[in-house]
Amino acid sequence: MSRFDHRKYKPAPKVTGFTRTWPDQEITKAPIWVSEDLRDGNQALLEPMTVEQKQKLFKLLVDIGVKEIMVGFPSASQPDYDFVRWLIDEDQIPGDVTIAALTQCRDHLIDKTFDALEGVPRAIIHLYNSTSTVQRERVFEMSQDGIIDIAVNGATRVKENARARPGVHWRLEYSPESFSTTEMDFAVRICEAVMDVWSPTPEDKIIFNLPNTVEQVGPHYHADQIEYFCQHVKNRDSVIVSVHTHNDRGGALAAAELAMLAGAERVEGCLLGNGERTGNMDIVVLAMNLYSMGVDPELDLSDPDKIIRVVHECTGIALHPRHPWVGELVYTAFSGSHQDAIRKSLRKQGDDEPWQVAYLAIDPRDIGRDYQAVIRVNSQSGKGGMAFLLERDYGINLPRWMMLSLAPHVQRESEKITGELGSSEIRDLLFAHFDRQAPVSLVDYSVRRADEGQKISVTVSDHGQEFTLEGQGNGPLSAFVAAWNAYTGEDIAIADYTEQAVSAGSDADAIAFVQIKAGTIRIPAVAEDADTLSASMKAIISAINLSREADETGQRGGLTALAG
């Protein structure tokens, strides 16, 4: 048998005996968010957090709006115990936040958990024991009834401790650990046995947390399990159904989201997906999923960079640049077609209309990002990207024919450096290749009205020698071209031009793009100056010089990316 043999494994049996409705449901409300960062997240670290790091992370969770926070396993860990005492003794728990403490179904651990929580105004006691077939048969070697006895005894001990401490709002959370690999009828039976001990009401509900402890089934299968439970558990109006998904198959987020469709009201997870093995469900991503559908996540994620920074400081885990919603490169487009679509969509996006921008699922500004990194240029980029950067950073709107002429130079430079080009480098390439103010240069000019159009007198320098040209045309530019043709005997014409005022990144206040036609070819050029007319005159000079350069090198055709 091959070492890599799929026959070692078998699919999970189908969930039957319920009515599947979750595919037709919609999520319209955020779940109750529960952070497991200080328990599952901390347990998964090579170097567990110090008390000081836990304090910092707890404050972050409170700041973003998490209302239920698992603070650890105080009966089994002295650092967890010390941290819980700091929270209570230093009055660090806001009035709208409830902390939770985890404990196994053992009397001495339950008792110590309550000792750790002495003086707390409200708390959740999270009780759990393993219920899956493999745990029962291969680990504990116990029957279903024996496993139920463990849970019932634990719930009874919790209730006794709670009654001995009146004045505190105690809530019970019970988890049949490895719920996803537990028989569904047994999962319901053991939860109902715990319910009978606690006696919840619609006003004071019990929490049944149904953990996908090790993800071994698809998210659709998990949703079936959750809906089965919701349809079969008694006193459903006295129960909060909670889910706790892991990412072993890469489906923690999908499993949690589909579980909400199936009836789950509460979701446990970690910021940015920290947690055992492949991690817990990522609270940030699920919240942003809801946000992007128009559902208020009831968390403040407007500053994800702060979340990323604090989580890294506390866990030592760096964020992948492609991490959903908040990674460094999530809102970055290198592809030329993507860049062009983004640029066009942003121009048409209205301030008060629903977000509709190609390749951007949300407005990056919503979470503290700006458009600076949305479009970046490398060798895979196209015309739209470089045009976007020039427009954004310098107010330069490239005409399409100049985009086509500039693009090959940008691509070659990016390939040469095998990296990314910024807007300043692209601007430098534009002027390096399409602005030539020598050997012919503009010295001075004057324009006056004529009976038909305008007359111009232009002084130019050619290789240091000045001479004056005069001509007439419909406007100053056509008059200049007429004067040039009359003086040189050439036959150039303006095929296209555009001028615009600019204010950023340059001492000039205007920029002009001109495309002259010389015979059968077109020569694009650019220039800038203090005013649009001077910039346009200089752009014509640039085109003339570029035409001469091409003649001298035999490369004239290379200047005509838009011939005809």
Note the pLDDT tens digit of each residue in 448-473.
988 788 999 999 999 999 999 999 99
pLDDT at position 554 is: 47
Q: Which of 434, 452, 478 is the last residue of a domain?
A: 434
pLDDT in tens, 368-388: 887 666 655 554 555 677 888
From CA 195, how far away is CA 94, in angstroms rounded?
29
Residue ending a domain, among 285, 315, 345, is: 315
Co-location of 422 and 445 in the same domain = no
CB 553, CB 532: distance < 8 Å: no
The reply to whether 529 falls in a domain is yes
Which of the two residues, 518 and 149, has the higher pLDDT score?
149
Q: Are residues 430 and 444 in the same domain?
A: no
b/e map 40-50, b = 16+ CB within 10 Å: bbbbbeeeebe
Q: What does DSSP assign to residue 411? A: H
Residue 277 banded pLDDT, cuts 50, 70, 90 = very high
Please check whether residues 43 and 62 belong to one and the same domain.
yes
Model confidence pLDDT, tens digit, residues 71-84: 999 999 999 999 99
DSSP letter string over 194-250?
HHHHH---SSSPEEEEEEESS--S-HHHHHHHHHHHHHHSSSGGGEEEEEEEB-TTS
The CATH code of the domain that includes 182 is 3.20.20.70
Global confidence as pTM: 0.77
Q: Which secondary structure element, helix H or strand E, spans residue 472, and what is its range?
A: strand 465-473
Whose CA is closest to 12, among 170, 181, 141, 242? 181
The reply to whether 400 and 470 lie within a common domain is no
> Angle, to 10 degrees, between the axis of helix 51-64 and the axis of helix 304-315?
160
**Could you tell me the CATH number of the domain that includes residue 466?**
3.30.160.270
Per residue, the 3-state secondary structure of 429-447, as one string, reads HHHHHHCCCCCEEEEEEEE
- The conformation of residue 149, written as its DSSP 8-state character, comes to H
Same domain, 357 and 238: no
- Residue 560: is its pLDDT beyond 70? no
> Percentage of residues in the chain with pLDDT exceeding 70?
94
Q: Is residue 564 situated within a structural domain?
A: no
Same domain, 62 and 173: yes
Q: Which residues of 146-170 are buried (b: 16+ CB within 10 A; e: fewer)?
A: ebbbbbbbbbbbbbebbeeeeeeeb
Residues 424 and 526 in one domain: no
Is 13 a domain residue? no
pLDDT tens track for 413-436:
888 887 778 889 999 999 999 999
Q: 341 and 454 share a domain?
A: no
Per DSSP (E only), the strands in 83-205 are 98-104, 122-130, 169-177
CA distance 381 to 296: 36
Could you tell me whether strands 440-449 and 68-70 are parallel, antiparallel, or unpaired per DSSP bridges?
Answer: unpaired
Same domain, 460 and 477: yes
Residue 423 lies in a domain: yes
Identify whether 102 is part of a domain: yes
Is the per-residue pLDDT at 562 higher than 50? no
Parent domain of 466: 440-559
Burial 339-354 (b: 16+ CB within 10 A, else e): bbbbbeebeeeeeeee
The pLDDT tens digits for 130-172 are 999 999 999 999 999 999 999 999 999 999 999 999 999 999 9
Average pLDDT, the chain: 91
From 434, 465, 492, give the residue that closes a domain. 434
Cβ(102)–Cβ(39) below 8 Å: yes
Burial of 551 from C-beta contacts in 10 A (0-12 / 13-18 / 19+): exposed
Within this chain, do residues 292 and 409 fall inside the same structural domain, yes or no? no
Residue 10 CB-density burial (10 A; 0-12 exposed, 13-18 middle, 19+ buried): exposed
424 & 311 share domain: no
Q: Is residue 11 part of a domain?
A: no
Residue 281 and residue 187 share a domain? yes
Asked if the bond preceding 439 is cis, omega within 30° of 0, the reply is yes
Task: Tell whether 4 is covered by a domain.
Answer: no
User: Tokens 């993507």 — which residue?
Assistant: 338
pLDDT at 9: 92
* Number of domain units in the chain: 3
pLDDT, tens digit, for every residue of 537-559?
999 999 999 988 877 654 443 33
In a domain, residue 239? The reply is: yes
d(CA 508, CA 486): 31
